[in-house]
Structure 1
């Protein structure tokens, strides 16, 4: 670790918990990582003040916050919390002179060049690519979103996206009936309404309704039944999920051309990773007509690093601090 690198404060705000840490350059000081419960907190900046009170010797030069919600012009509006704040609020709370705000997916994208090999599991081989090749983060967990990652001489660019909210593409009759069921019972059939934890429950609910006995189960219970093989509807739910996941990822690959690879993150991605090979992911990923062979160039990895968003915040700040002013 470069002890002369600027000290920064970084944070990853989720819907339930917030993690805050100090970083030196692109290295997270792991003994400073602190988790706070969001419930009962009026807003985020007071958590920064509490953290710094617990680390009185810290005098961060820079601050970067990743949040699970839309970020525009430095202003953060949390999706599942009533918190809103901006760069001025962060500067006042930390005293830092360089302030940055990212959505959580952007932070994951900025972390990619710094992930340790043991944090990556290859799920699909791709063609050899230049280190400067574009990459793609696909996050599937409580919600779904993506982050394209581009490299240049001036640093890493990770533009924001809201890819979970467009209409889910329909490829076959099953997809159509699923979308019609979701629209009737749950509203607009977006990608996220299927590609998420609640999407697993939606698919199970739809399949059980078609079988004549509508059941609403928690995603964890459905995955338990998939694992022990006790429930054919759960197994079929997993198959539908994996195939739609393959189709969504294939369409994204063809749209964004991530020759540097597709990187899956999130709890739902982790849960389904062992099922991809045997439940039709590959066939759906390549179901792109005459471009089916073309997407063979794109490798797919599973990312397992709980602190990647913090690393991404630190690396983004390093880019900012190194740019000529």
Structure 2
């Protein structure tokens, strides 16, 4: 097989709503080849890959799929979509000789050293750290997850996680009522039940109930109402969401000590980006009692590159192939 920098790979990022597919040469995604498929309009990954590679009229050397769900031994099920992904399905669909399946946050972690200029915005500056300091990626979109990122020599290590399903960390009487609302309507409340697109809608629906039964809105309509500036309930929903995001990020920071930075990614995180500092993210992040000053060490960034998981998939393949070539 050719050197890892010359390998032509097909990479895919499967979210709860859309699947993105592209070709990559080594660590570089060929942006003009990116295609987006709506998951509700296809039968599964085999249909997506078969259609995509048929259009490209090529057989890749390697393939890597990043997916929004837990992966074990090359097999994964999406958390918010009834698809199961495994290496053999991908191999059959692509005829690639090298195949990998990653959790999407693992792919985001592999992308951190390869994000292009203008694709990262700093929310909190933190303090400078060594190049090998641990980092943390936190994805908020159709679902929520987080994963630490470690650099060990020439190897990037991103342990998988399902942090979106830890118990919701409530602190106030108001938040207890939110948790009880979610439990009554949707079962045991996890972090993802607030910190996701549908979670944001649940926050607004809870506020509607608190206010006496106003009509709920979808996430897009709520954000439009916020931009319009005349819907106090929508504005409060953003504040509740933002404070919870800050608190959860702070909790995860104390677990992993990511002195190299926290990186927020995902479509919902990007939509909330302009509101985070104004709505209390920094205060909730640092609200750790006698460790409040300690929290100032962690930089927090917003990743605005919608295709970072594709880059991370390509980087994972290139790194793995280079490592195999050394052995």
| TM-score when normalising by structure 2 | 0.93
- May I ask how many residue pairs the two structures share in their alignment? 323
Q: 1:221 to 1:59 in 2, by over 3 A?
A: closer
Alignment of 1:91-102 (within 5 A): 91-102=91-102
Q: Deviations over 1:262-297 (max 9, x none)?
A: 111122212222222222211111111111111101
Matched, 1:203 2:200: no
CA deviation digits over 1:55-82, x for unaligned, max 9? Answer: 33x3422211111222111012223333
Match of 2:254 in 1: 254
Contact 1:204 1:215 in 2 (8 A): no
Distance 1:202 1:114, change over 3 A: same
Aligned residue number for residue 136 of structure 1: 136
Counterparts of 1:3 and 1:62 in 2: how far apart (Å)? 10
2:89 — aligned with what?
89
Partner Cα distance (1:25, 1:159) in 2: 23
Work out whether 1:292 is the aligned partner of 2:265: no
CA distance in 1, matches of 2:88, 2:142: 30
Matches within 5 A, 1:225-236: 225-236=225-236
Matched, 1:33 2:26: no
RMSD: 1.9
2:226 matches 1:238: no
| Unaligned ranges ≥5, structure 2 | none
Rounded Cα–Cα distance in structure 1 between residues aligned with 2:48 and 2:215 = 41
Structure 1 residues 213 and 119: alpha-carbon distance in aligned structure 2, compared to 1, 3 A threshold: same
Q: Does the 8 A contact of 2:5 with 2:318 survive in 1?
A: no
Residue correspondence of structure 1 range 1-325 to structure 2 within 5 A: 5-56=6-57, 58-323=58-323, 324-325=326-327
Aligned mates of 2:217, 2:124 — CA distance in 1 = 31
Give 5+ residue unaligned stretches, structure 1. none
Give distance in 1, aligned partners of 2:90 and 2:63. Answer: 8
Decide whether the 8 Å contact of 2:26 with 2:315 is kept in 1.
yes
Q: Deviations over 1:20-65 (max 9, x none)?
A: 2211110112222223343353331343233223233x34222111
Tell me the secondary structure at the aligned position of residue 147 of structure 1: strand
Distance 1:296 1:34, change over 3 A: same
- Deviation track 1:76-97 (CA, whole Å, cap 9, x = no partner) reads 2223333223212222222222
- How many Å separate the matches in 2 of 1:203 and 1:108? 27
8 Å CA contact 2:4–2:321 kept in 1: the answer is no
Deviation of the 1:154 alpha carbon: 4.0
Measure the CA separation in 2 of the matches of 1:104 and 1:316: 12
Relative to 1, partners in 2 of residues 1:217 and 1:322: Cα closer, same or farther, differing over 3 Å? same
CA–CA separation in structure 2 for the residues paired with 1:39 and 1:280: 36
2: CA distance, partners of 1:170 / 1:41: 39
Report the Cα distance in structure 2 between the residues aligned to 1:4 and 1:120, rounded to whole angstroms. Answer: 25
More helix by share: 2
Counterpart secondary structure, 2:187: coil
Does the 8 A contact of 2:16 with 2:80 survive in 1? yes
Distance (Å, rounded) in 2 between the aligned partners of 1:47 and 1:213: 42
**Secondary structure, aligned partner of 2:193:** coil
Q: Is the 8 A contact 1:206 1:214 kept in 2?
A: no
Q: Distance in 2 between matches of 1:37 and 1:201?
A: 21
Distance 1:33 1:204, change over 3 A: closer
Counterparts of 1:224 and 1:239 in 2: how far apart (Å)? 15
